[in-house]
Structure 1
Amino acid sequence: MRRRGSWEATMAQMDSGQSKRFSVGRVVAWTVAGLAVLLLAIAFSASPFFTVEQGEAGVVLRFGKVVNVASPGLNTKVPVMDRVQYMSTRIEKRVYDKVVSYSRDVQEASIRLSVNYHVPFDKIDEVYSRYGVNYPERVIDPVVPDRLKKVFGQYQAQTVVSDRVKLGQQIEDAIKASVPDGIVVDSVQFENIDFSANYTKAIEAAAQAEAEVRKSRYELERERVESEKRVVQAQAQAQQIRERAQAEADSIRLRGEAEARAIAAKARSFIDNPAYANLIAVERWNGVLPHTMLPGSALPFVPVPLGDTEPAAKPAAGSRAAGPAPAPTSAGAPPAPRPVQ
């Protein structure tokens, strides 16, 4: 029993010595790792070189004071004493979404606005000294919603859409005038406006009513034009009828005047030449004698003027006298032959 107890005591002492040695080893390992990290940090901070990316500027601080603004590329600093803060010189964009504003007629609107800005390289030290690296949160963010609400509140809700370009320009001018020197606001985009649901329904109803009014006005205008068209057509037709009637009247008048002149001419002919009546009678006679004549009535004939006729020439001496002239025959019958001597 004594031997067994002594052996257990010996084993316990050996385990205790091994645990102590293991604990010391762990402490040494952690100490070495910490020293290595510290040495790396010291070596890194002690490096006199640093780089600045394109579109950035490096603000060199010596014990917290701005001593230089490094341009893009490889630059130097005093180890341990200097540290570098990086600031962007690019055009940055900040979006302001769901900015609640009220119009002049107290209509609520949710507006989405974006602002593009940048800091010139020669203003980096001034902006950093006054506002630090987080200058957008300190300077731009408080200005944009405030100027937006003030300008938007000057407009009636129904004119916001029609004057959207003008509204956006006024908001941009107000923001530019309020941002301090050193920060350049390049542009402001008035991206979206959402009015309340009730106002949207009211606008839609008003738009529909206005459309109906425009439709009614169009129909009235069309009816007026059609009526004027019908009047013009009726006037044109009446004018045509009047012109035709006038032309017909003029034609009748001209024909009457021509006939009157012809009658007058004939009358003058009868007066100047009594034989003209006989000529008219001959022209109008069809050559047929009347079949029935009343006792004592005159036989219609055409008087032939006798005048002074010359006697027929006598045949020359010794020439053979011509026989008697053949007697007239009835129409269509050949003349009778002369007798042979």
Structure 2
Amino acid sequence: MKKQIYIVGLILFGLLSCVQKHTKDKIESNQSRIFHYNNEPYLIKGICYHPVPKGSDQRSFETIDQDLELMVEAGINTIRVYEPIDDIDVLDKINSAGLKVIIGFGYNQNGNYDILSGSFIDYVKKYIDHPSILMWELGNEYNYHPEWFNDDITNWYKALNESAALIQEIDKKHKVTTAHGELPDALALKMTDRIDVWGLNIYRWDNPSELFEQWEKVSEKPMYLSEAGGDSYMTITKQGYEEGFNEKAQADANAKILESIFNNREVCSGVTMFSFTDGWWKAGDTDTQDIGGWAPNSSGVPYDGTPNEEFWGIVDIDRNKKETYVVIKNKYKQTLTEY
């Protein structure tokens, strides 16, 4: 009899453990903080994408088929682009691959679907019904550049809010977001109440966890990390990582960053990691991969505090997978999207 009770006890313990294991990934959340698409919670497992070939400084989609194949393999569900994709064939391919895209609009792009001219709304009208569109993004880190707005950053916040309102007048399906550098201050939040979802470009070494606590205190809106991650070049030897090309430093940093993000899904709706491919156009000669480059507020780049702008890809410019590709693939595929 004691043996039977013992066996029954083991079975019940096993069942309870299974239930606990299954529910562990369920998130107790304030639903207003969770990004929704088509009325369903949507966890962004994304990548920033600006493919520029060797010898060029202009974006090209000549490798879109290969790139999408690599993205799908890595479990990526969202692409973030810095300028509109005015090519229906490319958007169709993104959709056919099962991915969504966050379309970014710049402020002054010489009237090419930009905010200053107001022509961005023409793009919204043109592609509003395309199934690949996830969100409309207005600006990237413009809070770091008041000099672009007559040295008065409120000029940008006004333009941002007015542009968001204009989109919302004609599009009730897609959310409007922005990519803000770091945690927005009280002025930014007050002046941009029409923003639906906040994207934050965050470089806080390999642990952004404090950010999520800070966000909870200042806003109840959905947020995600529109940029995060490390590069694969160490300017100096530090924290056990050798100077020079160092894929392990990048892979280790990105693993910890993603762990923090996905452990805080009740506040953070995911990330578009920076970035898909190395960009040889950012520093020095476009025909060679150069160290250096510059980015605002970048002292938190792991593990050397230096943004080596041409080494940030999860694949190199020839589409060879780096160590971090495997890390991101494992993290994205192992993380449930349920809330």
When the two structures are superposed, what TM-score results if normalisation uses the length of structure 1? 0.19
- Whose Rg is larger? 1
Whichever structure has more helix as a proportion of its residues is: 1
Which structure's relative contact order is higher, taking Cα pairs within 8 Å and 6+ residues apart? Answer: 2
When the two structures are superposed, what TM-score results if normalisation uses the length of structure 2? 0.19
